[in-house]
Amino acid sequence: MLLLLTIVIGCRPTDDPSDTLEYPPAELDPPSPTMTAQDTADRIAGALQDGVPRPTPLIDAYLDLMANGDENCPGDLYQITDDFILGCEASTGYQYSGVSDYINASKEGADYQLLAGDFIIATPSGEEFRLGGGAELYTMPDGSSQSLVGGSVTWEGGEEGWMSGGSSMWMIATTQNDRFSLQGAVGMNNADLYFDEVYFDPSVCDGPIGSIRVRGDDDHWYTLTRQSDCDPCGTVTFHDTDIGTGCADLSAWAAATLLGLMPS
């Protein structure tokens, strides 16, 4: 077969028209938006009612649930080993399956916490905590912090909508001197959002500045950009085309997010 291919390739005409054929550039009509600028702002505000993924609630929920195990299942306060990848039930009625690990240590002068795994913890009443991914949190001596949450999570007993309703995310957050910045994406509350250098400093504005993108029902992205003039309204673009101004009061969300991100 190799010899045959060599012969066929070797006999290819040197004046094959495909060598010089030029194709005209494709001319595609740009899509038209199906949401207005205010629709965009309303969808973003509605999705953010469920908060934003943060490491501390994930870690706290995990440690609380792990404390309900016993010496045999899962046999540890901090990890589920692969001995229980198919599951076990503690004498308390709590069930654990999968693999997980939690680390709390000092790293490069910072307090460091890491939760990672792919697991399910079920309560006796049937509520499930599912995590595929993890959370990482550095808390510096000066009180500033850096964090990452990634993967998917559902905690049916969670108090915050992004946990109880389920979400998928890749979010990086930093806090310093009572302000925060966010970068990353999250899918929650029937909405997909992307935070592009979103920044909040309550001493400057009572709401965030930066760009938040939301996916429309047409599967295209719409971007709300708020400038440093602290105007609650911002420019909405669709495929880099300005489609108007959208207004949303995000002050309560920003204040709650800052409180939730600040080290306790």
- pLDDT means over runs of 10, the chain (264 residues): 39 52 65 94 93 92 97 96 96 98 90 96 97 95 93 93 92 93 92 95 92 95 91 94 96 90 78
Residue at 14 is within a domain: no
- The whole-angstrom separation of Cα 87 and Cα 70 is 14
pLDDT given at position 11: 47
pLDDT given at position 213: 97
Residue at 231 is within a domain: yes
Q: Is the dihedral of CA 191, 192, 194, 195 positive or negative?
A: positive
Residue at 12 is within a domain: no
Contact yes or no for 94/122 (Cβ under 8 A): yes
Backbone angles phi, psi at 149, to 5 degrees: -125, 135
Domain count, the chain: 1
pLDDT given at position 50: 85
157: DSSP letter: T
Q: Look-up: residue for tokens 């709390």?
A: 104
Least Cα distance to 133 among 179, 182, 100 occurs for: 100
pLDDT given at position 25: 66
What is the domain extent for residue 39?
35-261
Residue at 17 is within a domain: no
Residue at 1 is within a domain: no
Residue at 176 is within a domain: yes
Contact yes or no for 144/135 (Cβ under 8 A): no
Residue at 24 is within a domain: no
pLDDT given at position 39: 97
Contact yes or no for 100/63 (Cβ under 8 A): no
pLDDT given at position 242: 96
- Long-range CB pairs of 5-10 (<8 Å, 24+ gap) are none
pLDDT given at position 21: 62
